[in-house]
Amino acid sequence: MSLTPPPAGAHPSPPGVPVPKVTMPALTEMKRQGKPISALTAYDYSTARLVDEAGVDLILVGDSLAMVVLGQENTLAVTVDEMLHHTRAVRRAVRRALVVSDMPFGSYHGSAAVANAVRFVKEAGAEAVKIEGPRIELVHALVEAEIPVIGHLGLTPQSVHRMGGYRVQARTAEAARDLQADALALARAGAGAIVLEGVPREAAAAITAALPIPTIGIGAGPECDGQILVFHDLVSLTFTPQAKFVRRYADASALFRSAIERYREDVEHRAFPSDAESYHLPARRATGVAGRQTMGLTPAGADFGTDDAVVNRDAFEDWAG
């Protein structure tokens, strides 16, 4: 555990100052005004804080968690409890963005769907849930239960076995028309937005123009009302070949790898920690006896370091007793 206190005022607006919250209706208003919606996944407190402080409008605690954080082969095995755990961490970090949780595979396919969705709102603080596929009745039921819902159409990763892999969908005119019909049905049922994944740009553009609610694209071209990427893809923290639609904005793998290697070398060469990174006993205690002398560590009369080397006073004082 780090003993370093969090830097004060790291958030653009200090704690206590209200930040205008992004809501589901605000996304529709952004579409109306032609303002692009930025969305990104996050799965933990620190990245969610960075994403929120950067002004991203929507944070999805995606079930991609299974692959990029938990190292699973696909998204199918992640559980409701795991998704809740990560949603809580993200929720604690976020002040402005809309926090959306992915409902994992199997959690919304039977009679417990609404009860499971309620858990995301009640136990983890999600402000909307996302479900894959044209589940019109379920969207009705969720809206009836006051749970905002985002649909997800096109390449739906939870259908990987049915699709026979991660393949671009709606590649024929007929399939594109079916996709548009599904999107319109979700919108009529009360979905607040629709993620369009892995569909031809032309199909996504037509659907975006036809819908009263925003589309958020991932591998669906630039005409969508918003864009979403997986955080780990954006910063190159994945270990698999990237999809065509991913743009890497940073190379976090290289950055982390080099930092970790330098740390290991410093430890091996006893170059870390330095004296300045070490705590020291105070020069004089209230008794007038030097602490180190009291403990028999150094000879009397030696010159001791002072408290100014302390990096965390509370921790030091606890330790110094």
- Which stretch, 56-64, 76-84, 91-99, 303-311, contacts ligand KIV (CB under 6 A)? 56-64
Query: If we measure between CA atoms, which residue out of 62, 64, 39 comes closest to residue 52?
Result: 39
- Which stretch, 61-69, 136-144, 185-193, 262-270, contacts ligand KIV (CB under 6 A)? 61-69
Interaction of residue 230 with ligand KIV, rule CB under 6 A: yes
Min CB(29)–ligand KIV separation in Å: 22
- Which stretch, 44-52, 59-67, 161-169, 251-259, contacts ligand KIV (CB under 6 A)? 59-67
* Residue at token pair 């990174």: 277
Q: Residue 175 to residues 42, 77, 178, 186: CA-CA distances in angstroms?
A: 32, 29, 5, 17
Beta carbons of 61 and 126 less than 8 angstroms apart: yes
Q: Which of 62, 151, 192, 217 binds ligand KIV (CB under 6 A)?
A: 62
- How far apart CA 298 and CA 308 sit, in angstroms, is 20
Interaction of residue 38 with ligand KIV, rule CB under 6 A: no
Beta carbons of 79 and 66 less than 8 angstroms apart: no
Size of the site for ligand KIV (CB under 6 A): 11
Pick between residue 64 and residue 107 the one whose CB is nearest to ligand KIV. Answer: 64
Q: Which of residues 93-152 bind ligand KIV (CB under 6 A)?
A: 102
Residue 154, Ramachandran bin (φ over 0: left; ψ between -120 and 50: alpha; else beta): left
Pick between residue 233 and residue 281 the one whose CB is nearest to ligand KIV. Answer: 233
- How far apart CA 57 and CA 39 sit, in angstroms, is 6
* Residue at token pair 């020291």: 280
149-188 footprint of ligand KIV as x/- string (CB under 6 A): ----------------------------------------
Interaction of residue 195 with ligand KIV, rule CB under 6 A: yes
**Rg of the Cα atoms in the chain:** 25
Residue 197 appears among annotated catalytic residues: yes
Interaction of residue 64 with ligand KIV, rule CB under 6 A: yes
Q: Which of 41, 107, 116, 208 binds ligand KIV (CB under 6 A)?
A: 41
Interaction of residue 63 with ligand KIV, rule CB under 6 A: yes
- How far apart CA 213 and CA 198 sit, in angstroms, is 19
Backbone angles phi, psi at 46, to 5 degrees: -70, -45
Q: Which of 90, 138, 228, 310 binds ligand KIV (CB under 6 A)?
A: 228
Interaction of residue 57 with ligand KIV, rule CB under 6 A: no
Which residue out of 73, 144, 197, 268 is catalytically annotated? 197
Pick between residue 207 and residue 228 the one whose CB is nearest to ligand KIV. Answer: 228
Min CB(129)–ligand KIV separation in Å: 12
- How far apart CA 48 and CA 171 sit, in angstroms, is 35
Beta carbons of 202 and 225 less than 8 angstroms apart: no
Min CB(56)–ligand KIV separation in Å: 14
> Which is it for strands 193-197 and 149-154: parallel, antiparallel or unpaired?
parallel
Query: If we measure between CA atoms, which residue out of 43, 36, 9 comes closest to residue 214?
Result: 36
3-state DSSP assignment of residue 208: helix
Q: Write out the residues near ligand KIV by the rule CB under 6 A.
A: 41, 60, 62-64, 102, 195, 197, 218, 228, 230
Catalytic residue IDs: 197
